[in-house]
Amino acid sequence: MARKNSGTPPATASARSTLALADALFSQGFGTRRECEGLVLAGLVRLNGRTMLEPYEPVTTAGLLLEVEGVAWPFHAQALILMHKPAGFECSRKPTAWPSVLTLLPAPLRRRDVQPVGRLDVDTTGLLLLTDDGALIHRLTHPKRHVPKVYQVRTARPVEDTQVERLRAGVVLHDDPSPVKVLACERSGECGLRMTLGEGKYHQVKRMVAAVGNHVEALHRSDFGALSLPADLPAGQWRWLEGPQVITGSTSTS
């Protein structure tokens, strides 16, 4: 039964269709292999209503729903999470002044090295994706992909038609000589804008609005690719996403 006691779940192991139970737990971030063996031997893991007592009993990972210490845990070879980010949290694994959004996730996901897909400012709220799939992060954040992201903006002063026109035409930011354009922009109330961006420069929405003579008072991301933030998902809560089809529009939540 001796196994190498590594602390980081290997991505390749979790992709196999059949795994030993302890290895399945290990791939999901429930600790080292020895710790996962201990969970099973202590009777803390159930499968289909049955308490599992053999750490290396084979299990099929497709559709696998584990119960660990009384908590249901669906098996995901790679984690993909949709979170409703609240204000007051940094999108960083090494935050400086505010807590990390990762503290809002359970320990197994943090052990899997789940990372935010791009960043939202500490005071920005809304849809945030997190995953341990490095290739997916690259696909969703690479500038050439132009994955659309929709932001709801509350401005300090009433929005003028000329400001909307300038945002649509493109504005020059101090660190880029080329005009930065929105994919779409429309007024949403006297002091509101709905802006769709295809790239993610530093503080881009705030800087673009400032460049046309206004100021962002509140910023909320409502859409990322084909995903919209679920109306019934409270701030600070998260849900699994099934598969990386967020770009194509076929992603579902569970």
According to DSSP, the residues that pair with 180 across neighbouring strands are: 171
Residue 11 confidence class, pLDDT cut points 50, 70, 90: very low
State the pTM of this model: 0.87
Per the structure, the count of domains in the chain is 3
Q: Are residues 116 and 233 in the same domain?
A: yes
Q: Are 157 and 217 within one domain?
A: yes
Q: Clarify whether residues 154 and 218 are in a common domain.
A: yes
121 catalytic per annotation: yes
Residue for token pair 């993909």: 80
- Could you list the residue range(s) of the whole structural domain that residue 30 is in? 11-74
Q: What's at 184, amino acid-wise?
A: A
Same domain, 87 and 205: no
CATH number of the structural domain spanning residue 93: 3.30.70.580
Question: What pLDDT is stored for residue 1 in this prediction?
Answer: 41
- Same domain for 153 and 50, yes or no, is no
pLDDT tens-digit series, residues 219-254 = 999 999 999 999 999 999 999 998 766 554 554 555
How many CB atoms within 10 Å of residue 71? Answer: 9
- The active-site residue, picked from 121, 123, 132, 133, is 121
Is 253 part of any domain? no
Residue 144 banded pLDDT, cuts 50, 70, 90: confident
74-105 confidence digits (pLDDT tens): 999 999 999 999 999 999 988 899 999 999 99
